[in-house]
Structure 1
Amino acid sequence: MGNDFPVIVAGGGPVGLTTALDLVSRGIRVLVLERNPTTTRHPKMDVTNGRSMEHFRRLGVAERIRDKAVPREHCMDVSWVTRLSEWELARFKYPNVHEWREHIRQHNDGSQPLEPNMRLSQVVLEPELRDILEASPLAEVRFGWAFEDFTQDEDGVTVAALEVATGRRQEIRCALLAGCDGGASAVRQKLGFELNGAFNVARVFMTHFHSPAKEFLQTFGVVWHYQTPDGATLIAQDDKEIWTLHVMLPPGT
């Protein structure tokens, strides 16, 4: 029995899309299956660390992604305030991309990453990775298709996929199946691997909103996070008009 794709990637988030991009860079055809109808609408992350940026640099897309991120000259400071309308108590200063690059250049002794980290919401990152993949003849990205099951034999893997909107099912052959479908990974569960570690360690109410009122929302200047003593966090997603507010919920709620 032949294989339709050398590799199928289950999961079209940052990990799955980056895995597919790496495979394409090596000349390997890949199919990405993502159960959601499109890229995420929720800001699940707001920073990409230096190690991930090293991978994007190796893949030749680091600067293209940075062009979509918070401007390189903006800092990554974290400010502790009593209230946005009151006083700043302390500020943890973190360099911007240009400052980090100069620090890396001055300490080129193997102790530094090759790339600074980057302020970028997952809402922005996923569409950019998708667009890069869809421009390649080696990649096929199917949103709205859920991984359901797989069977393995000596010649490869048969993946059972479901088109969520229609209920249509399809069996697709591959040589390798990559499970990049998150902490609740269906691939992991089908393989019988347990997930170690704690979950539900805190409950947070998240509000994602647009507002141009920077005179209030950035009272103490450009920062990445504003923190308050009662556990509230205001995250500047783009330093323009997109914000995320996290408020800790009382235990038991």
Structure 2
Amino acid sequence: MKTLQTDVAIIGGGPAGLMLAIELGCRGIPCVLLEEDADPPAFPKANATSSRTMEHYRRRGFAEAIRALGLPPTYPQDVVYCTHLASHELARFRIPSRAEAGEHASAHAGHSGTDGDFGDYGHDAWPTPELPHRAQQMYIEPVLRARAASYPSVRLRLGHRAMSVAQTLHGVTMSVMPTGDTGSPDGADSVDSVDSSDLADASGPTGPWRLNARYVVGCDGPRSLVRKSLGIRYSGQGSEQRDFFGGQMLSIYFRSRQLYAVLGKDPAWQYWAVNAQQRGLLIAIDGDATFLLAVQLEAGQQASDVDVAAVTRAAVGADFDFALIDRMPWIAGYTLVADRMASGRMFLAGDAAHLFTPTGGMGYNTSIDDVVNLGWKLAAVIRDAAPAALLDSYDRERRPVALRNTAFARRMADSIGNICIGRELDAPGETGARARAALGEVLAGHAASEFNIPGLQLGVRYLDSPIVAAEAGPVPQDDPNRYVPLAVPGSRAPHAVVDGKVLFDQFGRDFTLVAFGQDLDTAERACWRDAAATFGITLDLLHVNDTAAHALYGADRVLIRPDHHIAWRGNAHADALAWLALATGRAADR
């Protein structure tokens, strides 16, 4: 049986696994990604990319490629609520189109421009060059696959499934089987050791094989082999019942050239049918002719029993021609987080670590943030630039975020799923008009709470982290709907434009020490460089002579981590060795 040795094994090749491969690949860390599906998904899944995820894509240089996907440039990315989809419009939350988001990005990069149309976000709500974006996961994954495959240290084993995983004293061993192979992964006694060049093709070896790694990361979804092998359970709420987005759901993927005309209203990204007969969520896939409709099944109803034509036309409230592409049952109502996100040399990320109900659109985005946090830490430990203790900070930092984000998704699911719908909505005259106006006001408030969430997306702070400097003072308020840029250690580095350039575009790949105001003198520069060399850390030194940015960051010196969170801030001629030791897990306390 052939055996491949690598530093990191990634089980699962969705967005989390692929982004982790990218984070490791850009640092030259050998890794092997196992994904049982040879092809990217062909059915719509996640469809909202957060501002923070777009910033991460920008860090790695492919945000523009992602921004080019999805709806047409001038197509509104609005969310609209209706009685039936072809009937009364109750409320609309205006979200900038792709073109308007590009104008916003240009203005926030210091280029000339109109600063775009912020829609209902509000002009100053999102201090970032990367507004949220709407594009289906099935469009995004090919971009991530191509990017991951471009790094020589990354091997994608597409169409290969991990059958078992076991932790040893010095690493992790896995048995692997090509998808569809019926052989036994333990059927051969001989072991041929092969290097990465022997498995350079995407398909990998035929027949069973073995993979040994120093570390393994389970990005393998809710039925995670890694999580189960560790005996880690989910905690939280499972499949809560609601009038909508609670329990058994059915997604209907279809094509129609007539539907926009039948809807009879300005285009939108999401259309919600809110009525007492057939609730539903319609999502525009390409802004042309493909759509996804999510409906909730009745108690005891099976997906195979659903008359797709009947429920689709009931949600729309009118007849129209359409061609079914596919259907998929799923369950809404999960807000679950793994009791631990790491054990020894094994880690959990993405759906393996947390399950979301889809309101708020934070499942896929929390997953990306997970692996960006973990990737640089694994690379530092593997390169001997940090002790293994650095990896303990992964669970400490990311699990509270998972709890925070799933709680938000649950609140939004309750807000829309349990909304009271009266039967007067379609009544004639003043009675119906009053009922629709009252419901519209409630829905408008809900939409602002669910979709205008800069605090949720940009306000992640690791204030209780063992690798972040502690500061005295009040804890910043965590408000999903309001983001206040603060450079408190543990926070995302605030966005600023200096000399016509986005500040965080000037940060290095790994650690960056930003000198605000007066530049580092020769002695201070030598101190930081010597400290970095002592630990084997890649450290960039950046001088920023900008009064506004200096005031925003609130210190003369700021140490930025590879994930663009702040590790420390303070004055010139600080103890460089001590602060780099803290940021890389070498300090026992702060």
Letter in 2 for 1:195: Y
- Contact 2:165-2:225 within 8 A present in 1 as well: no
Match of 1:156 in 2: 171
Equivalent residue for 2:250, pick from 198, 202, 205: 205
- Contact 1:85-1:216 within 8 A present in 2 as well: no
Instruction: Give the distance between the partners of 1:148 and 1:197, measured in 2 at CA.
Output: 28
CA drift at 1:110? 10
Letter in 2 for 1:240: D
Q: Normalization by structure 2: what TM-score?
A: 0.40
Equivalent residue for 1:145, pick from 160, 164, 185: 160
Equivalent residue for 2:223, pick from 184, 204, 208: 184
- Contact 1:46-1:122 within 8 A present in 2 as well: yes
Letter in 2 for 1:159: M
1:229 aligns with 2:289: no
Instruction: Give the distance between the partners of 2:32 and 2:294, measured in 1 at CA.
Output: 36
- Contact 2:28-2:152 within 8 A present in 1 as well: no
Match of 1:102 in 2: 104
Letter in 1 for 2:42: R
Instruction: Give the distance between the partners of 2:209 and 2:259, measured in 1 at CA.
Output: 50
CA drift at 1:28? 1.2
Letter in 2 for 1:135: S
Name the SS of the counterpart of 1:196 in structure 2: strand
- Contact 2:173-2:212 within 8 A present in 1 as well: yes
Instruction: Give the distance between the partners of 2:273 and 2:72, measured in 1 at CA.
Output: 25
Instruction: Give the distance between the partners of 2:75 and 2:125, measured in 1 at CA.
Output: 26
Q: Normalization by structure 1: what TM-score?
A: 0.89
Distance 1:217 1:123, change over 3 A: farther
CA drift at 1:32? 0.8
CA drift at 1:10? 0.3
Name the SS of the counterpart of 1:162 in structure 2: strand
CA drift at 1:153? 2.4
Distance 1:5 1:218, change over 3 A: farther
- Contact 1:11-1:179 within 8 A present in 2 as well: yes
Match of 2:148 in 1: 133
Instruction: Give the distance between the partners of 2:150 and 2:208, measured in 1 at CA.
Output: 26
CA offsets per residue over residues 36-72 of structure 1, 9 Å max, x none? 2322122111111111111111111111121223234
In terms of mean alpha carbon deviation, does 40-49 or 193-202 score higher?
A: 193-202
Distance 1:206 1:70, change over 3 A: same
CA drift at 1:226? 0.7
Distance 1:128 1:174, change over 3 A: same
In terms of mean alpha carbon deviation, does 209-218 or 146-155 score higher?
A: 209-218
- Would you tell me which structure has more strand in proportion to its own residues? 1
Distance 1:117 1:111, change over 3 A: closer
Instruction: Give the distance between the partners of 1:154 and 1:71, measured in 2 at CA.
Output: 52
Distance 1:80 1:64, change over 3 A: same
- Contact 2:273-2:281 within 8 A present in 1 as well: yes
Match of 1:118 in 2: 133
Match of 1:5 in 2: 6
CA drift at 1:236? 0.2
Provide the aligned C-alpha RMSD in A.
2.5
CA drift at 1:190? 0.6
Q: Which has the larger radius of gyration?
A: 2
Match of 1:246 in 2: 294
CA drift at 1:144? 1.7
1:93 aligns with 2:94: yes
1:220 aligns with 2:265: yes
Distance 1:249 1:48, change over 3 A: same
CA offsets per residue over residues 169-197 of structure 1, 9 Å max, x none? 21111111111111221111111111122
Instruction: Give the distance between the partners of 1:88 and 1:206, measured in 2 at CA.
Output: 23
Match of 1:37 in 2: 38
Match of 2:74 in 1: 73
- Contact 1:84-1:216 within 8 A present in 2 as well: no
Distance 1:247 1:188, change over 3 A: same
Letter in 1 for 2:213: C
Instruction: Give the distance between the partners of 1:28 and 1:133, measured in 2 at CA.
Output: 12
Name the SS of the counterpart of 1:197 in structure 2: strand
Q: Which runs of 5+ in 1 are unaligned?
A: none
CA drift at 1:135? 2.9
In terms of mean alpha carbon deviation, does 16-25 or 164-173 score higher?
A: 164-173
CA drift at 1:136? 2.8
CA drift at 1:86? 2.2
Instruction: Give the distance between the partners of 1:28 and 1:108, measured in 2 at CA.
Output: 41
Name the SS of the counterpart of 2:146 in structure 1: helix
Distance 1:178 1:82, change over 3 A: same
Q: Which runs of 5+ in 2 are unaligned?
A: 109-114, 116-121, 183-206, 241-246, 302-590
Letter in 2 for 1:116: L
- Would you tell me which structure has more helix in proportion to its own residues? 2
- Contact 2:160-2:179 within 8 A present in 1 as well: yes
Instruction: Give the distance between the partners of 1:212 and 1:111, measured in 2 at CA.
Output: 35
Letter in 1 for 2:264: T
- Matched length: 252
Match of 2:232 in 1: 193
In terms of mean alpha carbon deviation, does 30-39 or 150-159 score higher?
A: 150-159
- Contact 1:53-1:117 within 8 A present in 2 as well: yes
Distance 1:154 1:123, change over 3 A: same
CA drift at 1:214? 4.8
- Contact 2:80-2:93 within 8 A present in 1 as well: yes
Instruction: Give the distance between the partners of 1:110 and 1:81, measured in 2 at CA.
Output: 27
Instruction: Give the distance between the partners of 1:109 and 1:29, measured in 2 at CA.
Output: 42
CA drift at 1:83? 2.3
Letter in 1 for 2:104: E
Q: Percent identity?
A: 31
